[in-house]
């Protein structure tokens, strides 16, 4: 899922703190997200300074899980177990890709990077964070080892495309084996995906982590130069000014799930790390959130509008 923070950064501070609250079935803006949280607190995890709601419950966070991959990569670089300039064959990266399942993220990453026969490992990581390429995440997991991610997430972090092959591709082996065999074959397969309801049921079972743990990971990444340069990619968008508001973020979406793991830094204030995960969203509500990116507006507004933050905290107490 791509972000639109470049536009958001120039507009969110102008949103009034009062006004008509949208119906919670339509996630059109930050007020609507707050209304939805009030109506569905059991389907929301929100962890930030001063708020810890469902922080210890294993929760599907979609592609926000990729910050655990990023943390494992940063650790490997720090410990000399990986080099950012390590060459990765594009053919190998492509072999991890499941066409038609990632919203065009893989193709968008290739278009941005315009690689030859190979890319650097750091470029693969950039594709995982910036375009949210699932193939990049699974390749990186294999490169670093699943144990490295488990150590950071305090739970197993599975392969994304392996889980899809197992759920929707007819593979009856464990997900890791499904992906290993798919990569070895080197033949792209376009899955026929089922309807929203079945995909949403599957989305409840994957990319699960405790939001409180994820926030701790995010706080560490903010201080790490290898990781923060990737998370702060929105600051390269038009209108972004890190002197006013610095943002590092990784969001995610699967049917029924929308998430955001974001840190914000404002002059004269302590940095804030926030993890938001909405789950079991009805189809129409989910699609409205995917169009509006209201969850991003919500997180930024919490960080920049004390009155709004107080209302959010009151809604969850």
pLDDT at 23: 44
Q: How many residues does the chain have?
A: 317
Q: What is the bridge-based pairing of β-strands 257-265 and 272-278?
A: antiparallel
pLDDT at 9: 36
d(CA 143, CA 148): 10
User: Exposed e or buried b for every residue in 113-147, given b needs 16+ CB within 10 A?
Assistant: bebeeebbbbbbbbbbbbbbbbbbbbbbbbbbeee
pLDDT at 21: 41
Share of the chain above pLDDT 70, in %: 92
Closest listed residue to residue 314, CA positions, set 30, 18, 41, 14: 41
For the chain, which ranges sit under pLDDT 70?
1-24
Residues 42-75: tens digit of each pLDDT: 999 999 999 999 999 999 999 999 999 999 999 9
pLDDT at 25: 79
pLDDT at 246: 96
pTM above threshold 0.75: yes
């Amino acid at each position: 899922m791509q972000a639109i923070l470049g536009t958001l950064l120039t507009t969110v501070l102008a949103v009034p703190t009062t006004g008509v609250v949208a119906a919670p079935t339509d996630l059109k803006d930050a007020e609507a997200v707050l209304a939805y949280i009030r109506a569905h607190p059991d389907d929301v995890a929100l962890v930030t300074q001063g708020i810890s709601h469902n922080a210890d419950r294993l929760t599907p966070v979609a592609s926000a899980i990729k910050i655990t991959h990023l943390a494992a990569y940063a650790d490997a670089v720090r410990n000399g177990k990986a080099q950012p300039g390590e060459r990765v064959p594009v053919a190998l990266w492509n072999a991890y890709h499941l066409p038609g399942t990632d919203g065009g993220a893989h193709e968008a990453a290739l278009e941005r990077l315009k690689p030859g026969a190979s890319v650097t490992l750091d470029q693969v990581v950039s594709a995982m964070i910036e375009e949210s390429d699932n193939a990049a995440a699974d390749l990186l997991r294999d490169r670093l080892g699943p144990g490295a991610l488990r150590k950071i997430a305090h739970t197993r972090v599975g392969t994304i495309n392996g889980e899809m092959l197992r759920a929707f591709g007819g593979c009856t082996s464990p997900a890791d084996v499904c992906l290993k065999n798919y990569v070895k074959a080197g033949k792209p397969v376009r899955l026929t995906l089922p309807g929203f309801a079945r995909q949403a049921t599957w989305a409840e079972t994957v990319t699960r982590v405790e939001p409180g743990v994820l926030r701790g990971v995010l706080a560490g990444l903010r201080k790490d130069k290898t990781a923060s340069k990737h998370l702060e990619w929105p600051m390269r968008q038009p209108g972004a000014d890190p002197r006013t508001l610095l943002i590092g973020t990784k969001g995610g979406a699967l049917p029924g799930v929308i998430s955001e793991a974001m840190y914000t830094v404002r002059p004269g204030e302590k940095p804030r790390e926030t993890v938001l995960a909405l789950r079991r969203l009805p189809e129409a509500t989910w699609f409205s959130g995917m169009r509006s990116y209201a969850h991003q507006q919500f997180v930024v507004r919490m960080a920049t509008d004390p009155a709004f933050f107080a209302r959010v905290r009151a809604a969850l107490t």
